[in-house]
Chains A and B, each alone.
Chain A
Amino acid sequence: MTELRERPQVQQDSEDGRPIHPMARQPIETGIGDRLTFDLSKPGRIGCVLPELDVPEAPTPPGLLRQDLRLPEMSQIDVVRYFTALSTLNYSIDTGFYPLGSCTMKYNPKVNDDIAALHGFSRVHPMQSERTAQGALEVLYLLQEALAALTGMDAVCLAPAAGAHGELSGILTVKAFLADRGQKRHKVLVPDSAHGTNPATAAMCGFSVASIRTDDRGNLDLDDLNSQLDEDVAALMITMPNTLGLFEPDIAEVSELVHAAGGLMYGDGANMNAIVGRARFGDMGFDVVHMNLHKTFSTPHGGGGPGAGPIAVKAPLAPYIPTPIVERSDGGDFRLATPSKSIGKVGMFHGNFGVLVRAYAFIRAHGLDGLRQVSENAVLNANYIKERLQGAYDLPYDRTCLHEVVFSGNRQKAKGVRTLDIAKRLIDYGFHPPTVYFPLIVEEALMIEPTESESLENLDAFCDAMLRIAEEAENDPEVVRTAPHYSPVRRLDEATAARKPILRWQPRAEDAPRSEPTGGEAHPTW
């Protein structure tokens, strides 16, 4: 049945004429959801033997010991089969096209995982002396240099662990910079198309948030911006290109206006894949930018982390960025350093080193020409999808896009098919759905980002599926409304999940007698 794995799925229908999801081959009636490790546990099984104690036992403080420990008891094969079975229920980049807008789900090179796992990296302890960690420090230094070059900025801090963490670091840096100048600016301007993290970050940093309108073309409404720029504005926080996948053509004027009002320009680099190697935040007047290395620089998302969200700043802000940064001494040694007026640490140690190594490897595997091919192909692919689908789906901002294109499902909504339904139906065709209902300014939004990793054949297969769903919305809306039909599970009851939250395993009532009595009998050492 290997043919069922191939895409496009569109031509390979099941007997009832519906497309078949590659996961439909999975035995979905296994009841795996009912059986967690705790349920699979059987007293007496072990998954790992530890060495015998080779020193004398020390007396233990009885008052400090716990009474019981309710954890699974499994042999290794059970652990391996359980988690392997779970893994097959996941859709991933390695299994298929993942056009999730604003997430840049591109190929994650396998060699980068191997490099991060080299013992010379993975076994280096964060608190060991700098003289014994020169190789790790050099990687961080080289990455700082590369990111400074790619953003056109003067100083880089690699410590933030994710994009939102980068935002927090960047906006706190802005706050410290302004406070040091005795300025009590309390407002951050955020466009109405922004990611939710932008206003959430500003609020977390103690700023009030004001929204700037997007105009009919998908750009910042300059009149609205002008009317809100005053002595209270600390920064304008914008994503470049924006969440519609559009570049702000008046960016020079925007920067000038904000700077003239005494505010700073904060760049959200979530969409940097569109412009990497082709345009730089620093040149456009940005003072601070954060990057999402798990997007543009292709480190694996891991099902929602880890990421890395370094920030880069212009020289006047460099003294305020988080610690540590890596410096090179005159003698050529590398060392951790704290900027003179640093806002302090944002995490335990020096950032997500294992992620940073992968990002550096990605940059080196491309060089400037390779990175320019990245943005070129990402943009070509997005425009190709736009071209193929714009007859079937509403395109609220009809102009050349960059790395992603945002459609509206309004035409289908009129037939009773919502964007959510279209997304779920794509699952039946073997594709991960796009980002939906974002940006908020587009009704029934479908935000599609193909990245440079997809071939023309894959783009065509995806577009074929989207076109067929558009036809189904006209002729057979019910099949779309009830999708997905061929996934490991079908639509979930999210309302009950939120009304009566079950957030952890609990023993079933009939299992209760089996649980260990308190008192630590199964604890022979004590």
Chain B
Amino acid sequence: MEIPADLKYTKEHEWVRMEGDFAAIGITDFAQDSLGDVVFLQLPEENAEITQFAKFGEIESVKAVSDLFAPISGRIIERNQAVIDTPEVVNEEPYGGGWLLKVELSNPTELESLMSAAEYQVLTASG
């Protein structure tokens, strides 16, 4: 299971990557593997606000549906049209082309409440 060292993680299996002033968020390799073939994503519109640890959308596989929880708070500046058009990208490249949202952080200190790769590794190993 791939867990890139430079990202921050939540216990709900989302990741955050800082890209300059913005953060990209997505779901982890572990999450996509447990879900199976991703078939649909419901994501908020651009400019919408998301709140840390609150539900912001849904992700569906053939026979499961999961809520998506925001790892950080902020305003959505971009929504990944590629995952909406071809959801399988989330399975193929969960940390790359399968990112979900780019967000302008409203409170960068929230990042400190997230897990490191090592901590997330422990979480997924314990099931």
Interface centre among B40, B61, B62 (most CB of A within 10 A): B62
Interface flag for B12 (CB, 8 Å): no
- The residue in chain A whose Cβ has the minimal distance to the Cβ of B39 is A498
Residues of A within 8 A of B78 (CB): none
Q: How far apart are A196's CB and chain B's nearest CB, in angstroms?
A: 12
Rounded to whole angstroms, the CA-CA distance of A499 and B87 in the bound complex is 7
Interface flag for A494 (CB, 8 Å): yes
Q: How far apart are A31's CB and chain B's nearest CB, in angstroms?
A: 25
Q: How far apart are B85's CB and chain A's nearest CB, in angstroms?
A: 9
Interface string of A498-510 (1 = CB under 8 A from B): 1100000000000
Within 8 A of A (CB), among B47-76: 60-62
Whether A495 contacts B88 by the Cβ 8 Å rule is yes
Interface string of B16-30 (1 = CB under 8 A from A): 000000000000000
Rounded to whole angstroms, the CA-CA distance of A495 and B86 in the bound complex is 11
Residues of A within 8 A of B60 (CB): 498
Rounded to whole angstroms, the CA-CA distance of A468 and B60 in the bound complex is 35
Whether A498 contacts B88 by the Cβ 8 Å rule is no
Interface flag for B92 (CB, 8 Å): no
**Chain A interface, DSSP helix/strand/loop, else mixed:** helix
Q: How far apart are B1's CB and chain A's nearest CB, in angstroms?
A: 17
Residues of B within 8 A of A499 (CB): 39-40, 86-88
Rounded to whole angstroms, the CA-CA distance of A495 and B39 in the bound complex is 6
Rounded to whole angstroms, the CA-CA distance of A499 and B88 in the bound complex is 9
Residues of B within 8 A of A495 (CB): 37, 39, 61-62, 88
Within 8 A of B (CB), among A463-510: 494-495, 498-499
Rounded to whole angstroms, the CA-CA distance of A264 and B99 in the bound complex is 48
Q: How far apart are A450's CB and chain B's nearest CB, in angstroms?
A: 26
- Count of interface residues, chain A, beta-carbon cutoff 8 Å: 4
Q: How far apart are B106's CB and chain A's nearest CB, in angstroms?
A: 31
Residues of A within 8 A of B37 (CB): 494-495
Rounded to whole angstroms, the CA-CA distance of A498 and B60 in the bound complex is 10
Rounded to whole angstroms, the CA-CA distance of A495 and B62 in the bound complex is 6
Rounded to whole angstroms, the CA-CA distance of A498 and B61 in the bound complex is 8
- The residue in chain A whose Cβ has the minimal distance to the Cβ of B87 is A499
Rounded to whole angstroms, the CA-CA distance of A498 and B38 in the bound complex is 9
- The residue in chain B whose Cβ has the minimal distance to the Cβ of A494 is B62
Within 8 A of A (CB), among B86-109: 86-88
Rounded to whole angstroms, the CA-CA distance of A363 and B23 in the bound complex is 66
Rounded to whole angstroms, the CA-CA distance of A494 and B40 in the bound complex is 13
Residues of A within 8 A of B86 (CB): 499
Rounded to whole angstroms, the CA-CA distance of A499 and B84 in the bound complex is 10
Residues of B within 8 A of A498 (CB): 39-40, 60, 62
- The residue in chain B whose Cβ has the minimal distance to the Cβ of A437 is B63
Interface centre among B39, B86, B88 (most CB of A within 10 A): B39
- The residue in chain A whose Cβ has the minimal distance to the Cβ of B86 is A499
Residues of A within 8 A of B88 (CB): 495, 499
Rounded to whole angstroms, the CA-CA distance of A494 and B61 in the bound complex is 10
- The residue in chain A whose Cβ has the minimal distance to the Cβ of B36 is A495
Interface string of A419-457 (1 = CB under 8 A from B): 000000000000000000000000000000000000000
Residues of A within 8 A of B62 (CB): 494-495, 498
Rounded to whole angstroms, the CA-CA distance of A495 and B60 in the bound complex is 10
Rounded to whole angstroms, the CA-CA distance of A320 and B84 in the bound complex is 47
Q: How far apart are A284's CB and chain B's nearest CB, in angstroms?
A: 34
Q: How far apart are B113's CB and chain A's nearest CB, in angstroms?
A: 28
Rounded to whole angstroms, the CA-CA distance of A136 and B49 in the bound complex is 61
Q: How far apart are B116's CB and chain A's nearest CB, in angstroms?
A: 30
Q: How far apart are A292's CB and chain B's nearest CB, in angstroms?
A: 23
Residues of B within 8 A of A494 (CB): 37, 62
Rounded to whole angstroms, the CA-CA distance of A259 and B40 in the bound complex is 44
Rounded to whole angstroms, the CA-CA distance of A151 and B58 in the bound complex is 42
Rounded to whole angstroms, the CA-CA distance of A499 and B39 in the bound complex is 5
Q: How far apart are A454's CB and chain B's nearest CB, in angstroms?
A: 29
Q: How far apart are B81's CB and chain A's nearest CB, in angstroms?
A: 15
Rounded to whole angstroms, the CA-CA distance of A224 and B87 in the bound complex is 40
Interface centre among B37, B60, B61 (most CB of A within 10 A): B37
Q: How far apart are A444's CB and chain B's nearest CB, in angstroms?
A: 14
Q: How far apart are B39's CB and chain A's nearest CB, in angstroms?
A: 4
Q: How far apart are A418's CB and chain B's nearest CB, in angstroms?
A: 11
Rounded to whole angstroms, the CA-CA distance of A495 and B87 in the bound complex is 10
Q: How far apart are A168's CB and chain B's nearest CB, in angstroms?
A: 22
Rounded to whole angstroms, the CA-CA distance of A495 and B92 in the bound complex is 14
- The residue in chain B whose Cβ has the minimal distance to the Cβ of A498 is B39
Rounded to whole angstroms, the CA-CA distance of A365 and B17 in the bound complex is 69
- The residue in chain B whose Cβ has the minimal distance to the Cβ of A499 is B39
Rounded to whole angstroms, the CA-CA distance of A498 and B59 in the bound complex is 13
Rounded to whole angstroms, the CA-CA distance of A211 and B105 in the bound complex is 36
Rounded to whole angstroms, the CA-CA distance of A17 and B102 in the bound complex is 56
Q: How far apart are A507's CB and chain B's nearest CB, in angstroms?
A: 25
Q: How far apart are B64's CB and chain A's nearest CB, in angstroms?
A: 10
- The residue in chain B whose Cβ has the minimal distance to the Cβ of A493 is B37
Rounded to whole angstroms, the CA-CA distance of A311 and B39 in the bound complex is 38
Residues of A within 8 A of B39 (CB): 495, 498-499
Q: How far apart are B82's CB and chain A's nearest CB, in angstroms?
A: 13
Rounded to whole angstroms, the CA-CA distance of A519 and B37 in the bound complex is 46
Q: How far apart are B75's CB and chain A's nearest CB, in angstroms?
A: 29
Q: How far apart are B28's CB and chain A's nearest CB, in angstroms?
A: 20
Rounded to whole angstroms, the CA-CA distance of A494 and B62 in the bound complex is 7
Rounded to whole angstroms, the CA-CA distance of A91 and B87 in the bound complex is 33
What are 16 sample pairs from A and B whose C-beta atoms fall under 8 A apart? A494-B37, A494-B62, A495-B37, A495-B39, A495-B61, A495-B62, A495-B88, A498-B39, A498-B40, A498-B60, A498-B62, A499-B39, A499-B40, A499-B86, A499-B87, A499-B88
Q: Which 6 A-B pairs have the closest CB atoms?
A: A495-B37, A498-B39, A494-B62, A499-B39, A498-B62, A495-B39
Given A495-B62, A498-B60; 7 other pairs, CB 8 A cutoff: A494-B37, A495-B37, A495-B88, A498-B62, A499-B40, A499-B87, A499-B88
